[in-house]
């Protein structure tokens, strides 16, 4: 309680603490982004073998989860030491290379750490020292994980989206961000809107325009913010998606037949609406 009082009176300490936490969490999010798809793939493979009653050799490989095995270089297997895992700073000191084999380290790692810190500070500045900040940070970190995972693998894992949906409803039982009725309707309408678009698109074109993970993500956003924010989220995500998609086709020569994941745009639009949605609505209506 004394520390919370100190954060309330010392704004610089509050922002500094949030920045450090954001950088540290960003480092962990890189683990989530890398390992969750592997964990899903391993689980699916095991389920398929079990269903088809296929005998498969058990390799002497350490199981993959968010805690094990210890982080290592994918090129040479060098175990990452603690001083090589300091957010952003280690990447700069190592000049973006493995200390043992000099293999290139993806820029994703410091980028995610920095972006997590920046968005965490934005949340802290918006909500101050409050329970709203605590839950808003969790939502922010989850959206970052989902956006990067979907961008890389075109997957929106249920083990992130579904707990996010239920937590949104649970939080709003106490009216933290909106009333419970708006949250429940937000979850229902969020899912049904994109499901309807999906069905109509498939009926007209015979193709699948998006995945079920997109429905669940918008439902989760609706659970956190209420149904009132859904139009803004859909419009923002469509606008961002259209701009980036056209740019990728025009500038980078992206094949228009290759699907572009919609999850990152939903996550970006959802976060913007969560932080500045009311101001945007007031400005637009004004």
* Domain boundaries defined on the chain: 1-125, 130-286
> How many CA atoms lie within 13 Å of 122's alpha carbon, on the beta-carbon side?
15
Place of tokens 């839950």: 135
Dist. CA 276–CA 282, nearest whole Å: 10
pLDDT attached to residue 32: 94
Both tokens of 16, joined, read 């500094």
Q: Which DSSP state fits 229? A: G
Dist. CA 157–CA 10, nearest whole Å: 39
User: What is the mean predicted confidence (pLDDT) over 22-37?
Assistant: 94
10 Å Cβ neighbour count for 263? 26
Q: Which DSSP state fits 262? A: S
10 Å Cβ neighbour count for 38? 12
pLDDT attached to residue 254: 57
Residues 18 and 124 sit within 8 Å (Cβ to Cβ): yes
10 Å Cβ neighbour count for 78? 16
pLDDT attached to residue 18: 95
> How many CA atoms lie within 13 Å of 184's alpha carbon, on the beta-carbon side?
4
Q: What is the pLDDT of residues 191-217, one digit of tens each?
A: 999 999 888 888 888 777 788 899 999
pTM (2 d.p.): 0.91
Choose among 86, 113, 122, 84: nearest CA to 100.
84
Residues 177 and 169 sit within 8 Å (Cβ to Cβ): no
Mean pLDDT is lowest, of 23-37, 72-86, 176-190, 217-231, for: 72-86
pLDDT attached to residue 256: 60
Q: What is the pLDDT of residues 32-61, one digit of tens each?
A: 999 999 888 888 887 787 777 776 655 555
> Considering the chain, what is the average pLDDT of its residues?
87
Place of tokens 């609406």: 273
């Amino acid at each position: 309680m004394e520390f919370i009082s100190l954060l309330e009176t010392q704004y610089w300490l509050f922002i500094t603490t949030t920045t450090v936490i954001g950088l540290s969490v960003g480092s962990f999010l890189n683990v989530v982004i890398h390992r969750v798809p592997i964990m899903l793939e391993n689980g699916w493979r095991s389920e398929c073998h079990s269903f088809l009653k296929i005998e498969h050799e058990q390799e002497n490989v350490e199981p993959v989860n968010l805690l094990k095995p210890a982080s290592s270089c994918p090129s040479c297997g060098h175990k990452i030491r603690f001083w090589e895992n300091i957010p952003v700073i280690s990447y700069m000191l190592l000049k973006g290379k493995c200390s043992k084999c000099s293999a290139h380290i993806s820029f994703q790692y410091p980028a995610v750490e920095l972006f997590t810190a920046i968005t965490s500070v934005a949340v802290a500045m918006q909500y101050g020292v409050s329970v709203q900040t605590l839950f808003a940070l969790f939502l922010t970190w989850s959206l970052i994980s989902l956006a990067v995972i979907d961008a890389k693998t075109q997957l929106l894992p249920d083990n992130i989206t579904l707990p996010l949906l239920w937590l949104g409803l649970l939080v709003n039982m106490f009216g933290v961000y909106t009333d419970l009725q708006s949250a429940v309707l937000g979850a229902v309408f969020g899912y049904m809107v994109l499901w309807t678009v999906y069905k109509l698109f498939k009926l007209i074109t015979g193709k699948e325009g998006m995945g079920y993970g997109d429905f669940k993500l918008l439902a989760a956003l609706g659970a956190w913010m209420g149904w009132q924010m859904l139009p803004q989220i859909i419009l923002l995500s469509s606008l961002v998606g259209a701009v980036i998609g056209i740019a990728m086709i025009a500038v980078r020569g992206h094949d228009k037949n290759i699907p572009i994941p919609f999850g990152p745009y939903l996550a970006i639009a959802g976060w913007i609406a969560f932080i500045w949605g009311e101001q945007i609505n007031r400005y637009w209506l004004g």
